[in-house]
Structure 1
Amino acid sequence: MIRPVFDNVIVKKIEEKQSTLSGIVLNTNDTDANIGEIYAIGEASVLSVENGGELTKGSKVIFSDNYKKVNYNNETFYVVNEEELLAILN
Structure 2
Amino acid sequence: MIKPLYDRVLLEKVEVKAQTESGILLPESSKEQPNLAKVIAVGEGKRTKDGTLIPMGVKVNDTVIYKQFAASDVKYEQKDYLIVEMKDILAVVEEDV
Normalised-by-shorter TM-score class: 0.7 to 0.9
Paired-residue identity, %: 25
How far off its partner does 1:28 sit? 7.0
Mark the CA change 1:29 to 1:82 in structure 2 (over 3 Å): closer, same or farther: farther
Residues 10-89 of structure 1 mapped to structure 2, 5 A cutoff: 10-20=10-20, 21=22, 23-27=24-28, 30-45=31-46, 46=54, 48=56, 53=57, 55-65=58-68, 66-89=70-93
Aligned residues: 85
Asked if structure 1 preserves the Cα contact closer than 8 Å seen for 2:64 and 2:89, the reply is: yes
Report SS of the residue matched to 2:65: strand
Task: Please report how far the alpha carbon of residue 17 of structure 1 lies from its aligned counterpart in structure 2 after TM superposition.
Answer: 2.0
Name the amino acid aligned to 1:31.
E
CA distance in 1, matches of 2:9, 2:60: 10
Coordinate RMSD, CA, aligned: 2.2
Match of 2:4 in 1: 4
- SS of the residue aligned with 1:18? coil
TM-score relative to the length of structure 2: 0.75
Compute the displacement of 1:4 (Å): 0.3
Superposition TM-score, scaled by structure 1 size? 0.80
Counting strand residues as a fraction of each chain, which structure ranks higher? 1
Measured in 2, the distance between the counterparts of 1:18 and 1:5 equals: 35
Q: Deviations over 1:30-50 (max 9, x none)?
A: 5252100000001115453xx
